[in-house]
Structures are given as C-alpha cells and as structure tokens.
C-alpha cells in the first residue's frame, strides 16, 4: 500500500508561509532610520600642552632615588620627562633650570658627579 506525502508537504508549505510573513513584518517596522537618529555629541577634552613626569632611579635594594643634574658649582636641578602629546611611549628627558627645559647630556668626568 502506498502512503501519501501530501500532509508532510502541506506542513512545510505552512511553515515557509509563516516564516515569510514574519520577514515581511520585521522589514516593515516604523522605527527611525539611521539618517534621522540623533547622534550623541562628545564633549571637548581640554588639551594640556605638557605633562611633567618625575624621573626616578631604582636602587638594587629597592629604594627609589631622585635623578638630579649637577652643575660645576654643585647646584642641583630637577630632571623631568616631558610628555607633549597623548602618547606616553616616547618622552623628552630635560633638565629644568629656572623654568626652562634644557637638554640633558652626560659627559665623562673624573668628578664624583657627571656634569651636564
């Protein structure tokens, strides 16, 4: 005896029809379009010209030591790393003398301190 495949085919047709109706309803939504939506405005971030970082040395015993520059007369000056942009990988290391940044040069010397 032969069995009919008609109920199975009818079920598949109804299923596909239902899926098609769902796609039509999903495509016909009344939501706002991407062009008409309001965009959030970002706040302006104040730019800082230079950021000064302290330069420290680590002693083998774990102590943090200040790095200073000394002139021939023995006066000491601060050494700072200057960050002049948003990146923090490359910093300018300068000696600050009377508020002016000066380049740091190490010279070989027989003195206890190396002059700059």
pLDDT of residue 80: 92
User: Helix or strand or coil: residue 26?
Assistant: helix
For 1-43, how does the pLDDT look when each residue is reduced to its tens digit (9 = 90+)? 566 667 778 888 888 999 988 888 777 766 666 666 666 777 7
pLDDT of residue 94: 92
The pTM for the full model equals 0.49
CA dist 69 and 8 (Å) reads: 90
Q: Could you tell me the two tokens for 2? A: 């032969």
For 42-83, how does the pLDDT look when each residue is reduced to its tens digit (9 = 90+)? 777 667 678 889 999 888 899 998 888 888 788 889 899 998
Residue 115 has pLDDT above 60, yes or no: no
Residue 91 vs residue 29, higher pLDDT: 91
| Number of residues written out for the chain | 116
Dihedral, CA of residue 92, residue 55, residue 53 and residue 80, to nearest 10? -50
pLDDT of residue 79: 92
């Amino acid at each position: 005896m032969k069995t009919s495949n008609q109920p199975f085919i009818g079920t598949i047709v109804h299923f596909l029809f239902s899926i098609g109706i769902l796609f039509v309803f999903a495509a016909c939504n009344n939501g706002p379009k991407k062009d008409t939506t309001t965009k959030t405005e970002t706040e302006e971030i104040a730019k800082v010209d230079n950021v000064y970082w302290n330069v420290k040395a680590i002693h083998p015993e774990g102590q943090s030591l200040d790095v200073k520059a000394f002139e021939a007369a023995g006066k000491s000056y601060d050494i700072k790393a200057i960050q002049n942009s948003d990146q923090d990988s490359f910093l300018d290391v300068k000696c600050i003398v009377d508020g002016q940044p000066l380049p740091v040069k190490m010279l070989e010397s027989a003195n206890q301190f190396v002059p700059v």
